[in-house]
């Protein structure tokens, strides 16, 4: 699985050594508030999840979102800091579509555009490398930050699963958003012309 790069970040394959970091993130209620997780996961459960993830097709493996930090010494290599993860979920080969998920686990880096940039990098990979036709996601209506990031990346609203998720003692509507290959082509051709 090759690394994917953008201006400020790289997406790299998740390693077993990342598991404690994932557990830290999904143990934080503020981080999981907008994720479709029902219960906290222990380290052992996350290790089982990791082993099962490795059995999935490579295109569905999890990428760690690393942001580029300045080198520690002049002319040195940049440093990389993991702040979240992302992956395609259940790629449908015949229909050429996939669901996508993302988590920015390091709260200090929220609202700085990293989620949008990671999503744009994954869209480029999905459409231009994996030859997908449609990429879609689910997002709670109570997650305006996520909705904004997805809209900036080019996703369009398709519909609502009314009261589709029970979370925090109440039912929440879930937005369905997607982007098609021809919409991505239009967006990427516009940005290349800048």
pLDDT tens string 50-84: 999 999 999 999 999 999 998 888 888 889 999 99
pLDDT confidence of residue 194: 53
Enclosing H/E stretch for 139? strand 134-140
pLDDT tens per residue across span 173-186 = 999 999 999 999 99
CATH class name, domain 4-192: alpha beta
Q: Is the pLDDT of residue 91 over 60?
A: yes
Hey, is 192 helix, strand or coil? Answer: helix
In the chain, where the domains are located: 4-192
pTM of the full structure: 0.93
Q: What are the structure tokens assigned to 131, written together?
A: 């030859």
- The 8 Å CB, 24+ separation contacts for 145-152 are 145/110, 145/111, 145/115, 146/34, 146/115, 147/175, 147/177, 149/115, 149/116, 149/119, 150/119, 150/177, 151/177, 152/116
Q: Name the DSSP class of 36.
A: S
């Amino acid at each position: 699985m090759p690394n994917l790069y953008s201006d400020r970040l790289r997406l790299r394959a998740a390693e077993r050594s990342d598991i404690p970091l994932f557990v830290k993130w999904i143990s934080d209620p503020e981080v999981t508030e907008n994720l479709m997780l029902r219960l906290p996961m222990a380290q052992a459960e996350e290790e089982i999840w990791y082993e099962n993830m490795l059995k999935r097709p490579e295109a569905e493996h999890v990428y760690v979102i690393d942001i580029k930090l300045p080198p520690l010494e002049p002319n040195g290599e940049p440093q990389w800091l993991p702040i979240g993860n992302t992956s395609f979920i259940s790629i449908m080969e015949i229909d050429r579509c996939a669901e996508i998920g993302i988590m920015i686990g390091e709260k200090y880096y929220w609202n700085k555009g990293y989620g949008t940039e990671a999503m744009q990098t994954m869209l480029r990979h999905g459409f231009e490398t994996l030859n997908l036709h449609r990429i879609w996601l689910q997002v709670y209506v109570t997650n305006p930050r996520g909705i904004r990031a997805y809209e900036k990346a080019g996703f369009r609203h398709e519909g609502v699963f009314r009261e589709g998720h029970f979370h925090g003692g109440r039912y929440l509507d879930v937005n369905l958003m997607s982007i098609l290959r021809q919409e991505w082509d239009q967006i990427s051709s516009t940005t290349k012309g800048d």
